[in-house]
Amino acid sequence: MDYYLIRHAESTLNREHTLQGWYNAPLSTQGMRQAAALRGVLPSCVIVTSDLSRALDTAHALALPTQKVQPDARLREADVGEWSGIPKVLVQESTLWKPYQRAPHEFRFPGGESLREVQRRMIGAFEEYLQAYSQLIIVSHHLALKTLICYLQNRSLADLHQFSLPNASITRVTQVGSHFICEGVGFSL
């Protein structure tokens, strides 16, 4: 059983180094190229995607004509609350930035979600997909996917900042019994 975790391609707000959370931002020109490059690289199977436009657009761009694309709001990015739409450089000046970097597993975004809440909804969606599909592509977001990968690798959310997932990156997940092997975490074409 193989599953492919795809971080959406570059959005206009990624390009501007602005936190998005649940904001909708279109793909940048580079993002459209990244998404198109994924087409045909992945197996022809069902694609489930966040309902936010940057993920939906990525999913539709990489889908072959025969592939079904299913939106699922549980795959959304973390709701970063008051940080949504704020340039990262300004967020880094916040007194909350250091606690987020030091202890992401204990952090709640101001006016938004905790990463534990994000992880719970991602795990719930993933476990549901395990029952329904033997092969699947999941298109989601940076923090959301990182919380899921921590779970699949039996890592604490405290390890969230220990690895990166570039835009349009692929992580292959193989189920072996009750365990998961994550290969090429954050691999980019």
DSSP 188: -
Which token pair is 142?
A: 């940076």
Q: Which of 141, 23, 144 has the alpha carbon at shortest distance from 81?
A: 23
Which token pair is 86?
A: 């704020």
In the annotation, is 8 catalytic? yes
- If one counts every other C-beta atom within 10 angstroms of the C-beta of residue 4, the result is 21
Q: Which of 166, 125, 129, 140 has the alpha carbon at shortest distance from 45?
A: 129
Beta-bridge mates of residue 7: 140
In the annotation, is 127 catalytic? no
Catalytic residue chosen out of the listed positions 77, 113, 141, 142:
77
Q: Tell me which residues are annotated as active site.
A: 8, 77
